[in-house]
Structure formats: C-alpha cells, structure tokens
Amino acid sequence: MITRTHTPTTGQTQGEKTRWLDRAVGSRVGRSADKAAAPHDELHVALSDLYSSQTRWLFSSPLDRIELVERCIATVAESARNWVDVACEIKHIPTNSQCRAEEIVAGPVVAMRYLRLMLRNLKALDKCVPPPLPGRLVQADNGRWQVPVMPVMRDLFDPVCFMNFQASVWLKSGICNEEAEAATHPVQQRMPTTSLVLGAGNVTGIFAADVLGKIFQEQHVALVKMHPLMDPLRPVIEQAFSPLLEAGCLRIISGDATVGARATQHDLVDAVHITGSVAAHEAIIWGADPAERARRKQADEPLLDKPITSELGNVSPWIIVPGHYSSMQLQAQAENVAASITNNAGFNCVSTRALITWKHWPQREEFLSRLQAILSKLPRRVAYYPGALERFERFTGCEFDGDESRDGLPELPWTLFRDVTPTESPLLCCEESFVPVCAEMPLDAADEFDFVGKATDFANDGLWGTLCATLTVPSAFRSSQRGRAELNAAIERLRYGTVCINQWPGIAFALLTLPWGGHPSGSIFDPQSGLGFVHNTFGLRAVEKTVLDGPLMVVPKPIWTAGHRHAEPIAWNLFNLYHQPTLRHVAELSYSALVSLFK
C-alpha cells in the first residue's frame, strides 16, 4: 500500500437498402444500412432480427412477459456458477479468494434481483394497477416531494438483508401535488424501438441490468455489444438469457470500438446506452476526430441523431462530517471507505476518489490511521483493466516497481494520499483515475456546521462528476436541530444523482429500485457523469436524485466489507433467496451471516 502526505459524417452510401414500416410518426423509407454492412454481417443480421420482433414484443401481453421472466429466472440460476467462474478468470481472481463474492453479488445476484422486481411489476400490470411502492408519496418540510423506493418488503426481504436501510427519490423542485402523483405512475412504451447497449468492461451485472431494463421496463428490443474484455463471458450470458434470445427481443454481438461506432450509426438502431468514458461518449455524439468534434459542437450539429443515455464515471467524494464517533463506529466507517476503494480492484465509477475531512476534526488522524491499517492488510489485486498501469503512474507520480505481478499483469498497491491540497493536485480532482487511488483532502472551516456547507461546495464545484456522493454523519449531529437542517441543506444542494448517508454508493447501484445515473443537470455538451437514469424499477419520472440512508454500523458485517473471510457462502445464500424467496432461504442467509461472527 502507498500512503503519504501529498502536495503533489456519415451519409447515404451504396449498400443494402432497408425499408422501414410506418411507425405512426411518418414513414421512414429507403434509409441506407450501415455503409460497411453486408447481408452476412453479424451486426446487420442481429439488428434485422430485432427489427422483425419490435412490434410483436411491444404488444406482448403482461402474461407473456411474466412467463418470459420466470424462464429467465430459471436460466440465470442454471448459469450462475459458470457466470462467476468466467468473470473471476477474466479478473484473475483465484478460486480460493473471498473476492469471488464480489462477482456473485455484482453479477448473478444483480440479475436475479432485477428479474424478481420485474416479476412484481408485471404481475401488478396484469391486474391494471401500478407497481407497489414501499411507501406513500410525501412532501418534506422543504417542499420537495419524496417517493420511498426501499426497503421492498415482499419477495425480496429487504428489511432482513438490508436492516435499517431506507431510500427515497427526490423529485424535481417546483412541481405541484398532481404532477408529483403523476410522476409515480410509469408510462407505457408505445413506439417500437431497438436500443443499442454498449456493455461495460468492469462489472458483469451492469449490462445485465441495462438489458433487463430496456426489455422489460421500456419494452425495447435490445442489441448488446460486449466489451472486448468481457467477451469470454458471452456464451454464459447467452445461456443465462436464452429465453430473451429465443423470444427475439435480445441479440448479443462482439467487437471492438469500430463495431460499436458502426452500431451507433446504424439505421436500425433507434436509441443508444453506454457505460464507459467521457471520451467514448464524446466520440459517439460529436465524432472521434478532435477538429470535427469542435466544429460540430460549435455548430450544434451532433453526429448522433438519436436519443442517448449514459453512465460515465465520477471522482466520487466521501465527506466525513466531524463530530464524536465511538471506536466501533470509526472502525466500521473506515472499513466502508476501504471497501469502496478496493472493491473490484478499484475499477469502479463508485470507488471513493476524494475523502473530504475537516482539518481540525479531533478524530481525523485516528480515522485515517484505521483506514491505512485496513488497506495495508489487504492483498493486492491484479490490475486487469486495460491502461491501469499508465493511469496509476500518472495519478500517483510514481513508477511502478514491478515487484508484485501475476499472469503478466501488475498488482497495484492500494494508495491513500493524505493532506492533499486540491489546488496543488488538480488531476486528482478533475479526472477519474479508475485505479485504486484515493486522496484525503482536508478543508478549513469554523466548525462542523460550516464544514458541511464548505464540503458541499467543494464536492459540487471542485470535483468532476455528478454520479454519487457519500456523507458519514455522527449521531449527535443528526439529533441536533441545526445539524439536521445543515444535513438536509447539503443533501438538497449536492449535484449528484445519488447521495448516500453512512454507506457506500455501490449498494445503491445494486438495489435497482433506486434510479441510477448522473445528476439531471448534464447535457450532451457537458454530460458530466452521464445522461438519464437506469434501474428505477418503479418507473418514476421527474427524478432529481436518490437518497440512501444507512446505519453507521452494520451487524453482522456486510459481505461487501473488504477482507470478509466468509463472504462467498453468504453471497450464494443471498442469490438463493432471490432465486427462490422463501422463509427457508431467509433462515439460511441469516444463519450464514450470524455464524460468520464466530468463525
């Protein structure tokens, strides 16, 4: 581990012509196919297959979709072990490593939970009622409308799996009661649509959730272009989602960035979703050539003439609100931050990159020492993601010594920079490193209340991105009237799509009922962390942000804790619960979690 004090044009071409049927918005006839497409081309064949299924899928009955979800539940269950094995091979995770639990939770568990949520929604739709929310729409003291989205009681047993966690969606300000009520009722898709999903290369559950959302929530047919790094997983994903392939609403292709670029411009693609970098997003919308991109932006002539949604990363801040914490609370929060840094070897958009503290917090050194000690004990992970070594050396200013490597790839050290001055280290603030590097940035403030305001300003204006932010808040601060007022003001002002209290935003991603995406202030000219929201299984509209509130300490120790010695069996028990939500599986999950306390 490293720790230190740091101041450091596309037009019509000759090719196969495709005739488009009238879609109630005018006839789209005689548009050309992609200029490189041929009848045998995998991309064109896949899109032609999907096009022929669009209308049939759009008008399929709830009962037909229920049957399809139930078949997917069975096939995902059959494929789960292979899914995890191949994901671990891609990431060079040994067979005896408890890090395998990450691949269980971030892959098959996410897919199975999503399918269960879709089953609830479709059964409600079949009865002509909206999906059952966990609570009622309420108007807070500040006038903002809030919609509870977690815990989900029936089927998923959230009060057991996520005890004392709750989440609500904050709707956009300035809407009236009738508008807020209408925002809680999903709008059914009425236009045949093919969505292109450009898959992520870091988390296998991302493209699973993206695909299930497109198909079952938006009733699109979907083409997934696998990230090259994840291509070995393609046969397993095809097995897991074979009912969707057979139904004609899903196709999967492989290829590099050139294939992805062709797909975005293909006439049979109606909408695009990407999880990736800002550079890739810019190239899709404005063009890959810098001069062309600048010209198009100046003229407001985007290369992409179809809707796009995206998730593009973040310099994720974790704000430690000063105050008194017990020794156990400090340790639990240090473990939380450590997990956010080390999960998936640091290749997460939700990894903590900026740890914001109060310079005069009496427990600051103790907290940082605990965090440093945890990181020092954790074994290094293989840096499997392309370009990691170059980014690590650029962001740390250190040349990797090469002493620790496996399978020809470096094992990068967990790196914590302490006492970083943002103005002297702008790279750590203005760009996501996407490696396991975190910078502690202490701020000066008059007191804890002043600190919360200044930390909020810094997170909004001093760090790049709008995806997610976390605040650790002492109990005494929340119990005081002024503390509650300052906390609520900070939550309201933070320009992030997700704000978490006391817990890592990775949990908010995995819960799926919570809308996930960058703050809606983004645009194609300045997308920040991305455009639009995914997940959002209740189909809420007028969303501004989600707030997830959790306890300072979780007992038994949660499976996302870094170094958890019994995480894998607990993770499989969680998967079994979502596969077959019965009291027996609740008991097995609870037992395995409790037993881990004494092993």
Query: What pLDDT sits at residue 406?
Result: 85
From 311, 337, 366, the end of a domain falls on 311
CATH code, domain with 117: 3.40.605.10
88 and 195, same domain (yes or no): yes
Distance CA 286, CA 302 (A): 5
369 and 447, same domain (yes or no): yes
Distances (CA, A) of 159 to 151, 155, 579: 6, 11, 17
Query: What pLDDT sits at residue 36?
Result: 43
Query: What pLDDT sits at residue 428?
Result: 98
Q: Say if residue 448 is exposed, middle or buried (CB neighbours under 10 Å; 0-12, 13-18, 19+).
A: buried
HEC secondary structure over 498-558:
EEEECCCHHHHHHHCCCEECCCCCCCCCCCCCCCCCEECCCCCCCEEEEEEECCCCCCCCC
300 and 442, same domain (yes or no): no
Query: What pLDDT sits at residue 417?
Result: 98
Which one, of 136, 206, 129, lies nearest residue 168 by Cα?
136
In a domain, 393, yes or no: no
Which one, of 3, 81, 120, lies nearest residue 374 by Cα?
3
In a domain, 272, yes or no: yes
CATH code, domain with 475: 3.40.309.10
| DSSP state for residue 216 in the 8-state scheme | I
Q: Which amino acid is residue 140, in one-letter code?
A: A
449 and 573, same domain (yes or no): no
Contacts with 321 (C-beta within 8 Å, 6 or more apart), sequence order: 448, 451, 452, 455, 471, 472, 473, 474, 477, 487
Structure-token match 């009962």, residue found: 63
pLDDT, averaged per 10 consecutive residues of the chain (599 residues), comes to 45 29 31 42 96 95 97 98 98 95 98 97 92 94 94 92 97 95 87 96 96 96 97 98 98 95 96 96 95 95 96 97 98 98 97 98 98 97 96 94 82 97 96 97 98 98 98 97 97 98 97 98 96 96 98 95 94 98 96 84
Residue 435: CB atoms within 10 Å:
24
353 and 291, same domain (yes or no): no
In a domain, 162, yes or no: no
Residue 354: half-sphere exposure toward Cβ, Cα within 13 Å: 31
**Intra-chain end-to-end CA distance of the chain, in Å:** 27
Which tokens belong to 555?
């007992």
For 391-418, letters b (16+ CB in 10 Å) and e give bbeebbeeebeeeebeeeebbbbbbbbb
From 311, 338, 358, the end of a domain falls on 311
Let me know: does 419 contact 440? Beta carbons within 8 Å.
Answer: yes
In a domain, 46, yes or no: no
Contacts with 427 (C-beta within 8 Å, 6 or more apart), sequence order: 394, 395
The H helix count followed by the E strand count for the chain is 22, 23
Distance CA 368, CA 374 (A): 10
224 and 325, same domain (yes or no): no
Let me know: does 530 contact 539? Beta carbons within 8 Å.
Answer: no
In a domain, 528, yes or no: no
For 85-116, letters b (16+ CB in 10 Å) and e give ebbbebbbbeeebbbbbbbbbbbbbbbbbbbb
**Domain span holding position 239:** 51-128+186-311
pTM for this prediction: 0.92
Query: What pLDDT sits at residue 29?
Result: 34
Structure-token match 């960058």, residue found: 518
Q: Which amino acid is residue 465, in one-letter code?
A: G
- Rg for the chain, CA atoms, rounded: 24
230 and 341, same domain (yes or no): no
Distance CA 315, CA 431 (A): 7
Distance CA 268, CA 271 (A): 9
SS3 358: strand
Q: How many domains does the chain have?
A: 3
Query: What pLDDT sits at residue 246?
Result: 98
321 and 203, same domain (yes or no): no
In a domain, 468, yes or no: yes
Query: What pLDDT sits at residue 22?
Result: 30
Query: What pLDDT sits at residue 94?
Result: 95
From 274, 296, 311, the end of a domain falls on 311
SS3 290: helix
In a domain, 195, yes or no: yes
- The residues facing 357 across adjacent strands are 442
In a domain, 474, yes or no: yes
Query: What pLDDT sits at residue 284?
Result: 96
508 and 571, same domain (yes or no): no
356 and 458, same domain (yes or no): yes
263 and 342, same domain (yes or no): no
293 and 323, same domain (yes or no): no
